[in-house]
Amino acid sequence: MEEQYVTFRSHEFKRNNREEGDKLVLVTRPLSVATEQFLSIRTSLDFIVEEDAVKVMVVTSCEQNSGKTLISANLAISFARGGKKTLIIDGDLRNPSLQRYFYCDRNRGLSSIGDISQLKDNIFETEQENLYILPAGSININPADYFKSSKMKEIFNELRMHFDIIIVDTPPLLAVSDASVVSNYADGIIVVFRSGKTKLKNAKKTLRILEQSPTPVIGSILNDTNEFRDDYYYNYNYTKSF
């Protein structure tokens, strides 16, 4: 039986050419269609941020290789350029990826914070005005236990006092429980699906898990779509705010 894949009628990030795939398009291609798509997503999120007092957003996906880290990075740049003091956190302590897009000391970061007084020493200012990064750090801890600790709650409470927007890039939801745990510290969840890769059964399973979360899903993003291949995808409507 042929696998079914899922297409969401929410925000779609279309593939224009392969060279854009692994770039921060807001920096490298400020006039591109991809940049306009990210600005459109930010505009949608701006309404939610203001109306529902959303400050901390968790970005997750069903599976690996969905493009969620690149989308997290571009969204963070978009908010920073919109005048918001923005922090992006590499919450994927098992497979940290944000350092591919931002230069920072890989030995410092979220997993390196011994107590709250060390928090500021592990946050780096980026070349983009208003944008800061808290990388994963040296990762000599058990991620699941660390995210459940009282220290993590203290860290997020402190960060809320210093930033307008906080975006947390987390591991795929079906791989480990980290994203579900981190979402308890957030105000909203954004789910990234990849056209032609996200299987329908996995999307449904992800949505069932998220339905149990006390943190609402504020939107979904379909990455890498190709308008000429709609016949191959199963259409599934899922969006509350987009």
Sheet-wide strand order for 165-169 = 11-14, 217-225, 188-194, 56-61, 165-169, 86-90, 131-134, 124-125
In angstroms, the CA 122 to CA 105 distance is 9
Domains of the chain, with CATH numbers? 6-16+39-236 (3.40.50.300)
Tens of pLDDT along the chain (242 residues)?
Answer: 344 433 333 344 444 333 433 478 888 788 788 888 888 889 889 888 888 889 999 999 988 888 899 999 999 999 999 999 999 999 998 888 888 888 778 888 898 888 898 898 899 998 889 999 999 988 778 888 889 988 999 999 999 999 999 999 999 988 888 888 899 999 999 999 888 788 888 888 888 888 888 999 998 888 876 543 332 222 222 244 43
Amino acid at 168: V
Coil/strand/helix, residue 166: strand
